[in-house]
Amino acid sequence: MSVDCRIFDRLPDGREVKAYTITNDIISVEVIDFGATVRCLFVPDKHARMKDIVFGYDTVKPYINDGKYFGKTIGQCCNRIKNGEFTLNGKSYQLEKNENGKTCLHGADEYCNKLWQSEKLNDYAVKMSYISPDGEKGFPGNVKTEAIFSIDGNVFKIEYKAVSDKDTIINLTNHSYFNLNGYNHSDICNHIMSVCARKYLPTDENNVPTGEIESVENTPFDFRIAKPIGEAIESDFEQIKKCNGIDHNFCLRQKCRDMNVPAIILAEGKSGIKMSVYTDQTGIQIYTGNFLDGTGKNSSSISKYSGVAIEAQGYPDAINNPDFPQVIVKSGEEYSSTTKFVFETM
């Protein structure tokens, strides 16, 4: 096992952006310290050929203010907050509304557009750190955040920890897009997916949860039995048509939040790669790349449904929905989140 560090690029102000490659004899992952971003993830297919299965860029420039969020760490509070506002301890907070001037999306792009402090921890892990000042993007508290990326055999693990000096809301996730055929191959419609969820969160015209928690039964969101992603996104179900695909939070069953039962299993027959996702979070946002376009690594073409983002997190807009599991973190308390990606071949 080894961790290699190199200069990936420089920001416009001249600061170095480092890339760390963590490698063992099974898998390899590269993370850069701009946005604490997963840039590459190589895993073996059924023919023992290494495939890079996540989307990214070759230089730092397209990562700056990248609305696709390829591989980035998202915070201080990921996903959407209705009207970019919330009340905590009787005080109202107005956040930056960075999505159509209506919604605070992904913490108003704060964490993912910062250069994090980075260091090698050992031969299988890298730590990245960021301090968010009180009031940044409207969020209360000086928040110290750590992201630890590590590998162990066929497992890639992401751990987040954060502490604030004020009561605040924290909800961190990674925004990697996966294509188990490789980032430069077709779409994910033939990927077979199962999700350990009986319920999901319907959304309004701004993709913000309505506050309802609905059963997946008799809807395209029913992945309790594995099925092709394309079968769901080709549906004429209202929630699917409104989003042009899936962009919804799945409410994970309690048994799938203990790191022993997979929350999601994603598999692809041509490559033979199976990815099992384990998390301690209450939900997972699944986004099927409904509006992807452009160019990625090695001039690869990116288009609608090219990849699927699997974002382990707390429920979106939880602070404005008291019936949702909450993402409030008290002053001095530690927030923590762990997600593992386990790779096998079929």
- Which residues participate in catalysis according to the annotation? 175, 311
Q: Which residues pair with 310 in a beta bridge?
A: 286
Residue 277 · residue 266 · CB < 8 Å: yes
- Helix or strand or coil: residue 186? coil
d(CA 176, CA 306) in angstroms, rounded, equals 12
Residue 306 · residue 179 · CB < 8 Å: yes
Q: Which residues pair with 57 in a beta bridge?
A: none
- Helix or strand or coil: residue 26? coil
Start-end of H helices in the chain: 229-233, 238-243
Distance of alpha carbon 190 from its chain centroid, rounded? 21
Dihedral sign (CA 340, 311, 81, 251):
negative
Closest to 296 in 3D by CA, of 66, 73, 36: 66
Angle (CA) 275-281-283 rounded to 5° is: 80
d(CA 304, CA 267) in angstroms, rounded, equals 19
Closest to 127 in 3D by CA, of 52, 42, 18: 18
